[in-house]
């Protein structure tokens, strides 16, 4: 089996940006952080339910051997769920770290929905860029984005949050990429304008030309459509 030749810190090859992250603004507006909180709550609640069920079965079995077996298994599962409450945010890292190590990418509002918008972003699936680029379109549904008008074509500078490299990183592809608006990190409109200009005009134009493909992108299970 071939060794993984991708760089240890691939983000050092990417277009990174100086993004001012306001922690209070992030807690209020960042939907990715809200998703992490929901996962934490779900893991915690599931752990408590399973633990209570295990104890209930032990009492129902009148402390028989089979009841203890079920209780121990339930307890181990519950401990795993409760451990996830602390593990999930540590795995994700701070928002400052996420924004500073994720590539700055162009995104536009491709659809306006009753309760939000659909973002369409131009990203690169390649882990190691020295081997060439692998452009793709990715879509994400979210609520109205602060600092941006909810209209089709509105430019929304984002960072590409990546993960889940397939084949344990040996095929140089990211299988998961999610655009995270810079406007979820800061309310500084001057910073938003500066970051929009840091993205090459050719990338904005290519994204504009593909804006009508948002439905096609959403039809892909990963919402990630490779481009030629």
pLDDT bin (cut points 50, 70, 90) of residue 1 is very low
* Residue 134 counted as domain residue: yes
* Residue matched to tokens 């030629």: 228
Asked whether the beta carbons of 227 and 136 are under 8 A apart, the reply is yes
Provide the domain limits for residue 189.
102-226
Q: In percent, how much of the chain has pLDDT > 70?
A: 83
Judge whether residue 190 has pLDDT over 90: yes
Same structural domain for residues 47 and 131? no
Asked whether the beta carbons of 26 and 95 are under 8 A apart, the reply is yes
Same structural domain for residues 197 and 136? yes
Same structural domain for residues 52 and 72? yes
* Residue 4 counted as domain residue: no
Same structural domain for residues 108 and 218? yes
Q: What is the pLDDT of residue 168?
A: 52
Residue of higher predicted confidence among 90 and 137: 137
Cα within 13 Å of Cα(146), Cβ side: 14
* Residue 11 counted as domain residue: no
pLDDT bin (cut points 50, 70, 90) of residue 38 is low
Question: In terms of pTM, does the model score above 0.95?
Answer: no
* Residue 26 counted as domain residue: no
* Residue 136 counted as domain residue: yes
* Residue 132 counted as domain residue: yes
Same structural domain for residues 110 and 88? no
Q: What is the CATH number of the domain that holds 188?
A: 2.40.410.10
pLDDT digits (tens, 9 = 90+) for 44-60: 677 788 888 888 887 88
Q: What is the total count of domains within the chain?
A: 2
Same structural domain for residues 54 and 119? no
Same structural domain for residues 50 and 146? no
Average pLDDT for residues 64-89, to the nearest whole number?
Answer: 76
């Amino acid at each position: 089996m071939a060794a993984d030749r991708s760089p240890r810190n691939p983000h050092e090859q990417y277009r990174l940006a100086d993004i001012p992250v306001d922690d209070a603004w992030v807690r209020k507006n960042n939907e990715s952080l809200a998703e992490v909180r929901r996962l934490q709550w779900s893991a915690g609640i599931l752990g408590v339910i399973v633990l209570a069920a295990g104890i209930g079965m032990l009492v129902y079995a009148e402390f028989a051997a089979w009841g203890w077996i079920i209780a121990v298994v339930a307890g181990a599962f519950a401990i795993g769920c409760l451990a996830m409450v602390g593990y999930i945010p540590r795995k994700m890292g701070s928002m400052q770290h996420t924004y500073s190590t994720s590539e700055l990418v162009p995104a536009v509002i491709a659809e306006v929905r009753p309760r939000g918008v659909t973002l369409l972003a131009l990203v690169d699936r390649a882990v190691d860029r020295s081997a060439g680029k692998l452009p793709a379109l990715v879509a994400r549904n979210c609520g109205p984005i602060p600092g941006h008008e909810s209209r089709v074509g509105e430019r929304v500078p984002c960072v590409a949050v990546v993960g889940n490299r397939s084949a344990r990183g040996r095929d140089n592809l990211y299988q998961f990429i999610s655009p995270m608006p810079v406007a979820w990190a800061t309310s500084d409109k001057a910073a938003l304008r500066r970051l929009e200009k840091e993205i090459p005009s050719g990338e904005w134009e290519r994204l504009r030309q593909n804006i009508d493909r948002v439905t096609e992108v959403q039809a892909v299970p990963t919402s990630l459509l490779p481009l030629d």
